[in-house]
């Protein structure tokens, strides 16, 4: 059949968390598929960014895995599926017998669907362990923790459409939607700005978001370019300004006294925390003029509807939970929660990172964020599953990696690339190579992690299978299959069903994703009212408790989902990064993503369109630092930390704060994560990617971009 006679398939872009709808036109040959705009897609109305338009380029890439592989004597050989499954089952049974069920760890993936992540966490728990986690641990674990603890649910409080229509001020801190969520930026934020909304951006690095709002000649927009790791003192200065102004002029509406009294607790603790707080000292610490901080505070407090957007610049710190808590404090004392155009809204980085958490692929929660140590919640799920669930939370993914060779001896990794995504990547690679007894990876490409595996399973890509994903504002949407490209590949869902059935005999015999979803919604209260038919083309926002519920575009209109129904205010104090500049490493290294690339680059580095703009890594250096170090724009330089070094090209620019350097994690040997610090936030267990002591030097003898491990 000619491709002209085949209907294009409506599905969802596989990249960021905005959840844009796209259409894919099948070609005459398997894998020959083209992007088509979906004009009335509910989230993006046909608009698409460079990544979405190039999404089909990697579906039939020459590097695709096409057959199972088993490693023998250090080399991979092709194997049958039967050989691969027998090997996996024997190793899983051996490790459980020799080391107990906590001897294994399981990694879900935000590049796979809700149904598949539901199955991998069910598989782990049937195996007898809660040691299952996913990449949200690396990006928004602290955000989820703070939002769930203080407001009730670990997700955006509002929806993108609601925010565009109602918000008149956007406070964007530690996020760069112009680069990382381009359609949200252009369709929602920019449109609101054109209609009069104000943007206050807080970030050490000027970027495409900073520039995208310079669209008029007014001075209403602000960029507070703070020192990395000083978000708490800056927000404390904002909050103290608001409290002082309220004391001076209680009738001007600086805070919402009625909201604080009726709907929150902890306000007195916040005031006590700030009683001896010195705003002038904080401004100096942040490197931002105090008058700018006070003006930003006034703009936020005086807005009718102010919405906070938070990103990994806030969450990826050892004080990440407290960073986000202070954003929550700001929103609660001004009453900017529970109404259209307000709230605290994390921008999620992958198309199903929200859903992967929603369905329980984390060590401390079951589907719907039910705590594993809550007897009632656990028993309700056990009634459906038919087996007992461990009642103690498991290790997180970085903790699992740290425990390799000690208590962890095997890993099952679905669609993740921890060798590149984990901090201190050199040490992680050594542990995987030297101390791991068994590693199974299922993926579509031979990733840096798959290279170290004992068995590699060839999965199908996003365009070849169906299921649901949940975008950044809690909208659950259907992804629909176009066609299968390689005959001997298998869907992630089918692989997990086969492993589960061979291991346990029952509980994993599903016919397809819709049947899995039916069980998922039975055990997941926030999705209980959803069915594939009800999702249709529009999708539904959770919570959707009963069939017929249309989902909530914004949360907490009447009360919060906390134990007592009140929003939790809690004063927090500055905690510096675990590494600060010193004589040996006098700079502070911070990291972020590029518009054209995506996380560890497994897909985007294989896309000709996406790889064209930035085929190699680089580092932004302030002109004053460049002069001090004798660096000229375009020089090859080596960045060093206590964990390793990488060689990249210098980009001399005032975009980065003086004393800081900025680079990315996308490029294998030159990944920033060979330098980043693997210390963790004590509660959320998220690594401190955003601040590490570093040194930079010009390379007199170019090394070709290779990275080296540190001997430190």
Beta-bridge mates of residue 12: 21
Give the Å distances, CA to CA, from 621 to 366, 626, 693.
44, 6, 15
Find the mean pLDDT for residues 136-163. Answer: 92
Is residue 710 very low, low, confident or very high in pLDDT (cuts 50, 70, 90)? very low
Buried/exposed code over 454-464 (b: 16+ C-beta within 10 A; e: otherwise):
bbbbbbbbbbb
Find the mean pLDDT for residues 582-599. Answer: 91
pLDDT tens-digit series, residues 38-80: 999 999 999 999 999 999 999 999 999 999 999 999 999 999 9
Is residue 212 very low, low, confident or very high in pLDDT (cuts 50, 70, 90)? confident
Q: Where are the domains of the chain?
A: 3-58, 69-135+362-534, 141-346, 587-709
Instruction: Match domain 3-58 to its CATH number in 3.40.190.10, 3.30.950.10, 2.20.25.90, 3.30.70.580.
Output: 2.20.25.90
- Asked whether the bond before 543 is cis by omega within 30 degrees of 0, the reply is yes
Are the beta carbons of 246 and 274 closer than 8 angstroms? no
Q: What is the pLDDT of residue 217?
A: 53
587-709 topology per CATH: Barwin-like endoglucanases (2.40.40)
Just give the CATH number of 141-346. Answer: 3.40.228.10
pLDDT tens-digit series, residues 251-293: 999 999 999 999 999 999 999 999 999 999 999 999 999 999 9
pLDDT tens-digit series, residues 324-376: 999 999 999 999 999 999 999 999 888 999 999 999 999 999 999 999 999 99
Q: What is the pLDDT of residue 593?
A: 86
Label residue 63 exposed, middle or buried (CB < 10 Å: 0-12, 13-18, 19+): exposed
Q: What is the 3-state secondary structure (H, E, C) of 214-261?
A: CCCCCCCCEEECCCCCCHHHHHHHHHHHHHHHHHHCCCCCCCCHHHHH
Position 428 pLDDT exceeds 80: yes
Q: What is the pLDDT of residue 220?
A: 86
* Lowest model confidence (mean pLDDT) among 294-303, 410-419, 606-615: 606-615
pLDDT tens-digit series, residues 23-34: 999 988 878 899
pLDDT tens-digit series, residues 468-508: 999 999 999 999 999 999 999 999 999 999 999 999 999 99
Are the beta carbons of 660 and 204 closer than 8 angstroms? yes
Is residue 126 very low, low, confident or very high in pLDDT (cuts 50, 70, 90)? very high
User: Which among 60, 164, 24 is positioned nearest to 485, based on CA atoms?
Assistant: 60
H or E stretch covering 330: helix 320-333
* Lowest model confidence (mean pLDDT) among 2-16, 508-522, 555-569, 611-625: 2-16
Residue by residue, DSSP assigns 601-661 as: -TTGGG-HHHHHH-SS-EEEE-HHHHHHHT--TT-EEEEEETTEEEEEEEEE-TTBPTTEE
pLDDT tens-digit series, residues 627-670: 999 999 999 999 999 999 999 999 999 999 999 999 999 888 88
Position 708 pLDDT exceeds 60: no
Instruction: Match domain 69-135+362-534 to its CATH number in 1.10.1240.10, 3.40.50.740, 3.40.630.30, 3.40.980.10.
Output: 3.40.50.740
Q: What is the pLDDT of residue 164?
A: 80
Residue with tokens 């050490």: 204
User: Which among 46, 145, 494 is positioned nearest to 344, based on CA atoms?
Assistant: 145
Position 107 pLDDT exceeds 60: yes
Position 5 pLDDT exceeds 50: yes
Percentage of the chain with pLDDT > 90?
A: 84
Q: How many CB atoms lie within 10 A of CB 44?
A: 26
Distance, in Å, from the CA atom of 299 to the CA atom of 669, rounded to the nearest integer, reads 44
Are the beta carbons of 490 and 81 closer than 8 angstroms? yes
pLDDT tens-digit series, residues 170-187: 999 999 998 889 898 888
Across all residues in the chain, what is the average pLDDT?
93
- As given in the structure block, the two tokens for residue 681 are 């936030």
**Alpha-carbon dihedral angle through residues 662, 667, 668, 671, given to the nearest 10 degrees:** 0
706 Cβ contact partners less than 8 Å away, ≥ 6 residues apart = 647, 669, 670
Residue with tokens 């700030």: 274
Helix (H, G, I), strand (E, B) or coil at 125: helix
Q: How many CB atoms lie within 10 A of CB 387?
A: 13
Find the mean pLDDT for residues 154-182. Answer: 90
Find the mean pLDDT for residues 528-535. Answer: 96
Is residue 319 very low, low, confident or very high in pLDDT (cuts 50, 70, 90)? very high
* Lowest model confidence (mean pLDDT) among 159-168, 192-201, 210-219, 369-378: 210-219
Residue with tokens 């969450």: 315
Q: 362: number of CA atoms within 13 Å, CB side?
A: 31
Q: Regarding predicted confidence, which is higher, 518 or 549? A: 518
H or E stretch covering 437: none
Q: How many CB atoms lie within 10 A of CB 501?
A: 15
| Strands 198-202 vs 222-224: parallel, antiparallel or unpaired | parallel
Percentage of the chain with pLDDT > 70?
A: 97
Q: What is the pLDDT of residue 218?
A: 57
Label residue 553 exposed, middle or buried (CB < 10 Å: 0-12, 13-18, 19+): middle
User: Which among 710, 707, 621, 709 is positioned nearest to 671, based on CA atoms?
Assistant: 707
Q: What is the pLDDT of residue 2?
A: 44
Q: What is the 3-state secondary structure (H, E, C) of 512-577?
A: CHHHHHHHHHHHCHHHCCCCHHHHCCCCEECCCCCCCCCCCCCCCCCCCCCCCCCEECCCCCCCCC
Give the Å distances, CA to CA, from 91 to 42, 86, 87, 599, 643.
45, 9, 6, 30, 33
**Dihedral over Cα of 389, 395, 401, 403: its sign:** negative
Q: What is the pTM of this model?
A: 0.95
Give the Å distances, CA to CA, from 148 to 157, 161, 358, 681.
11, 23, 12, 16
Q: What is the pLDDT of residue 92?
A: 98
pLDDT tens-digit series, residues 438-447: 999 999 999 9
Q: What is the pLDDT of residue 320?
A: 96
């Amino acid at each position: 059949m000619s491709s002209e006679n085949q209907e294009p398939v409506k599905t969802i872009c596989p990249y960021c968390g905005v959840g844009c709808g796209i259409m894919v036109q099948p070609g005459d040959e398997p894998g020959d598929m083209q992007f088509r705009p979906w004009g009335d897609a509910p989230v993006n109305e046909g608009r698409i960014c460079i990544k979405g338009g190039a999404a089909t380029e990697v579906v039939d890439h020459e590097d695709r895995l096409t057959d199972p592989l088993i490693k023998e004597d250090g080399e991979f050989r092709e194997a049958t599926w039967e050989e691969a499954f027998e090997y996996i089952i024997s190793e899983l049974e051996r490790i459980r017998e020799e080391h107990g069920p906590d001897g294994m760890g399981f990694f879900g993936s935000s590049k796979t669907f809700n149904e598949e992540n539901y199955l991998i966490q069910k598989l782990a728990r049937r195996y007898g362990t809660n040691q299952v986690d996913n990449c949200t641990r690396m990006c928004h674990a602290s955000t989820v923790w703070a939002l769930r603890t203080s407001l009730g649910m670990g997700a955006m409080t509002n929806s993108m459409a609601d925010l565009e229509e109602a918000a008149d001020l956007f406070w964007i801190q530690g996020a760069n939607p112009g680069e990382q969520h381009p359609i949200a930026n252009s369709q929602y934020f920019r449109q609101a700005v054109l209609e009069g909304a104000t943007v206050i951006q807080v970030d050490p690095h000027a970027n495409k978001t900073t520039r995208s709002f310079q669209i008029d000649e007014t001075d209403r927009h602000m960029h507070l370019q703070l020192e990395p790791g000083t978000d708490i003192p800056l927000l404390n200065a904002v909050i103290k300004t608001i409290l002082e102004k309220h004391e001076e002029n209680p009738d001007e509406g600086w805070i919402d006294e009625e909201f604080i009294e009726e709907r929150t607790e902890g306000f007195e603790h916040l005031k006590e925390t700030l009683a001896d707080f010195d705003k002038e000292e904080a401004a100096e610490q942040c490197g931002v003029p105090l008058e700018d901080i006070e003006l930003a505070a006034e703009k936020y407090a005086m807005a009718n509807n102010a919405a906070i957007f938070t990103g990994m610049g806030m969450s990826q710190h050892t004080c990440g939970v407290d960073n986000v808590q202070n954003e929550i404090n700001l929103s609660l004392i001004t009453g900017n929660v529970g109404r259209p155009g307000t709230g605290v809204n994390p921008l999620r980085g992958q198309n199903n990172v929200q859903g992967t958490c929603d369905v329980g692929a984390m060590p401390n929660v079951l589907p719907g964020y039910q705590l594993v140590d809550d007897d009632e919640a656990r028993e309700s799920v056990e009634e459906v599953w038919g087996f007992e669930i461990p009642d103690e939370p498991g290790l997180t993914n970085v903790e699992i990696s740290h425990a390799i060779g000690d208590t962890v001896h095997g890993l099952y990794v679905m669609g993740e690339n921890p060798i590149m995504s984990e901090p201190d990547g050199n040490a992680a690679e050594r542990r995987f190579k030297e101390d791991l007894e068994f590693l199974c990876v299922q993926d579509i490409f031979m990733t840096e992690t798959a290279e170290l595996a004992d068995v590699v399973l060839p999965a199908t890509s996003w365009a070849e299978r169906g299921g649901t994903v949940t975008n950044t504002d809690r909208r659950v949407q259907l992804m629909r299959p176009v066609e299968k490209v390689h005959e001997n590949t298998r869907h992630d869902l089918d692989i997990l069903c086969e492993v589960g059935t061979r291991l346990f005999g029952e509980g994993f015999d599903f016919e397809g994703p819709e049947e899995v979803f039916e069980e998922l919604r039975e055990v997941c209260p926030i999705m209980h009212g959803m069915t594939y038919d009800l999702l249709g083309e529009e999708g539904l926002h959770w919570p959707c408790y009963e069939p017929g519920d249309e989902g909530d575009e914004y949360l907490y209109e009447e009360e919060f989902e906390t134990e007592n129904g009140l929003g939790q205010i809690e004063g927090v104090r500055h905690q510096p990064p675990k590494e600060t500049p010193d004589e040996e490493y006098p700079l502070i290294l911070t990291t972020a993503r590029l518009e054209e690339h995506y996380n560890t680059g497994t897909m985007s580095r294989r896309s000709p369109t996406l790889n064209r703009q930035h085929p190699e890594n680089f580092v932004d250096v302030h002109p004053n630092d460049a002069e001090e170090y004798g660096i000229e724009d375009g020089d090859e330089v080596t960045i060093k930390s206590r964990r390793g070094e990488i060689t990249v090209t210098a980009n001399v620019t005032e975009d980065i704060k003086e004393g800081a350097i900025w680079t990315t994690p996308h490029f294998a040997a030159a990944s920033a994560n060979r330098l980043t610090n693997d210390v963790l936030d004590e509660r959320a267990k998220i690594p401190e990617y955003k601040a590490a002591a570093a040194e930079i030097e010009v390379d007199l003898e170019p090394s070709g971009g290779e990275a080296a491990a540190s001997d430190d």
